[in-house]
Amino acid sequence: MTKTYAEALLYRQQEFPDYFKFYLKKKNNQQHISENLNTLQKLVRPRLKIAIVTETWPPEINGVAMSLMQLCKGLQKQGQKILLIRPKQKHQCHEFSPNKECLVTAQAIPKYPDMRFGWPQYLKVSQAISDFAPNIVHIVTEGPLGFTALHAAKAKHIPVSSGFHSPFQEFSRFFDLAFLVKPIQHYLKWFHNNTHLTCVPSKDTEKALRQFGVTCPLLVVGRGVDTEKFSAQHRSEKLRRTWGVDEDTTVLLYVGRLSPEKEINVLIDAYVAMKSHQEKKVKFVIVGDGPERKRLEKMAGAEQVIFTGSLSGMALAQAYASADVFVFASQVETFGNVVLEAMASGLPVVAYNYASTQLYVKHQQTGWVCSLGATDQFIQNILQLPNNAVLHDMGQHAMQDVQNIGWQHAVQQFEQALYQVTQDQVLVT
């Protein structure tokens, strides 16, 4: 249905409601009238100009950056225009080009030299927003750049939405900074309560925000997975040989940041126990980088754990598909994109039962789950892993379960959230 045709139908609905109902009834049936009206209204509603503010962006490798890029690509495909406000980076992202871009000076994050936050360059950010004249400013991260954009948007009376993707208040516990938990919670509460709506990736995150006092409207905007990029078809026996394993070896895989809050030490402990108490051949492959790498390598000692460093593109896809089971011990995720990537790659998952795992992993069918805090049970689930034939069969079921979880629905949820904020503000004014 073209936009012009939709506009004509919507005009008929407004000017001749009885005729329009007869027309739709003839075309379809009475129960679809409201659905047709909603479709028409979406087709003819104006396109948005959206300023998106983020401290992280590809080629940085993390769930927030990669998810945001997918959402931006989807919005742009829908005809929305995007101003991207972010820190400067050493390397360029070639997968997405915003309509406009504002780059601020970047500062490396302590312990994460590959990640940067943006300087609060108020005049530059304010001028970029004025020149672009967005309908809405969406702030992805709550750091100095997000703080600056919030004040700039409010000064111009532009609606503001936000996203909550990283539980910084929980991370503090793992960096010997427990004394900062309450102050960070207070700041996050203040920040999000000063926006018109906050997008969260899961119901667990929504519940956590409510518990520490966020009262602004919250909307779950899910995540997706690229099932062409992540697929069991990318399994590589050549890669497995470089890992020093054969078809009878069970390869455990972790993908993600090497940081204290990911509790990779629990995975290494379980792996060492497997090698000590079982006769079957096992290998542990860790994909990622971060401040914990040297400590973890030392902890792994002579157990021949493979540390690949950060991987992306086909190298990452092959690593997923060439393993036999995905193990994930983190208990502080807002979603956990890696779980979907692993399942799409044909791997059963061992993880705690919350966020994406709770949504998609079926216990003893496509993986093994246990309650948060039940570390002993988590380790036991790894120690009791079945043989590769059973793992591969479970992995096939996992892959089938996520085949229809693309990014389209998440993009539609995000787009609807932005329209909701802009329409609500028009009604208020």
For the chain, what are the domain ranges? 3-42, 49-223+407-428, 232-401
Q: How buried is 191 (Cβ within 10 angstroms: 0-12 exposed, 13-18 middle, 19+ buried)?
A: buried
Do the domains spanning 49-223+407-428 and 232-401 agree at the CATH topology level? Answer: yes
Structure tokens at 99: 């309509």
Give the whole-angstrom CA distance, residue 310 versus residue 287.
Answer: 6
**pLDDT, tens only, 13-25:** 444 454 445 555 5
Q: Which of 404, 313, 326 is nearest to 368 (CA)?
A: 326
* More confident of the two residues 346 and 276: 346
- pTM for this predicted structure: 0.82
Contacts of 428 (CB under 8 A, 6+ apart): none
Give the whole-angstrom CA distance, residue 341 versus residue 317.
Answer: 9
| pLDDT of amino acid 43 | 54
| pLDDT of amino acid 410 | 93
Helical H segments across 93-230, by residue range: 122-132, 144-155, 168-174, 181-193, 203-211
Yes or no: say if 279 and 351 are a contact pair by the CB < 8 Å rule. Answer: no
Average pLDDT for 307-312: 95
Q: Is the pLDDT of residue 97 over 60?
A: yes
| pLDDT of amino acid 14 | 46
State the average pLDDT for the chain.
86
**At 169, is the pLDDT very low, low, confident or very high (cuts 50, 70, 90)?**
very low
- Helix (H) / strand (E) containing 84: strand 81-87
Fold observed for domain 232-401: Rossmann fold (3.40.50)
Average pLDDT for 178-182: 61
Q: Is the pLDDT of residue 118 over 90?
A: no
Q: Which of 320, 335, 261, 248 is nearest to 286 (CA)?
A: 320
| pLDDT of amino acid 42 | 52
* More confident of the two residues 173 and 44: 44
Structure tokens at 414: 């995000």
Angstrom CA distances, 3 to 34, 39, 69, 73, 210, stand at 18, 11, 27, 21, 40
Angle between helix axes 408-428 and 63-77 (nearest 10 degrees) is 70
Average pLDDT for 145-155: 96
**At 12, is the pLDDT very low, low, confident or very high (cuts 50, 70, 90)?**
very low
Give the whole-angstrom CA distance, residue 375 versus residue 350.
Answer: 12
Amino acid identity of residue 313, one-letter, is G
Q: Which of 73, 94, 70, 95 is nearest to 82 (CA)?
A: 73
Percentage with pLDDT > 70 across the chain: 83
Contacts of 223 (CB under 8 A, 6+ apart): 67, 201, 335, 337, 340, 356, 407, 410
**pLDDT, tens only, 65-77:** 999 999 999 999 9
3-state secondary structure of 97: coil
Yes or no: say if 418 and 230 are a contact pair by the CB < 8 Å rule. Answer: no
Give the whole-angstrom CA distance, residue 104 versus residue 128.
Answer: 11
| pLDDT of amino acid 170 | 47
Task: Provide the β-strand partners of residue 326.
Answer: 253, 349
Yes or no: say if 387 and 281 are a contact pair by the CB < 8 Å rule. Answer: no
| pLDDT of amino acid 68 | 94
Percentage with pLDDT > 90 across the chain: 66
Fold observed for domain 49-223+407-428: Rossmann fold (3.40.50)
Q: Is the pLDDT of residue 78 over 80?
A: yes
**pLDDT, tens only, 233-286:** 999 999 999 999 999 999 999 999 998 889 999 999 999 999 987 778 999 999
Average pLDDT for 285-310: 92
DSSP assignments along 238-273, one per residue: HHHHHTT--TTSEEEEEES--SGGG-HHHHHHHHHH
Q: Is the pLDDT of residue 122 over 90?
A: yes
CA 380 to mean position of chain CA atoms: 28
**pLDDT, tens only, 35-69:** 554 555 555 578 999 999 999 899 888 888 999 99
* More confident of the two residues 336 and 9: 336
| pLDDT of amino acid 174 | 47
* More confident of the two residues 64 and 12: 64
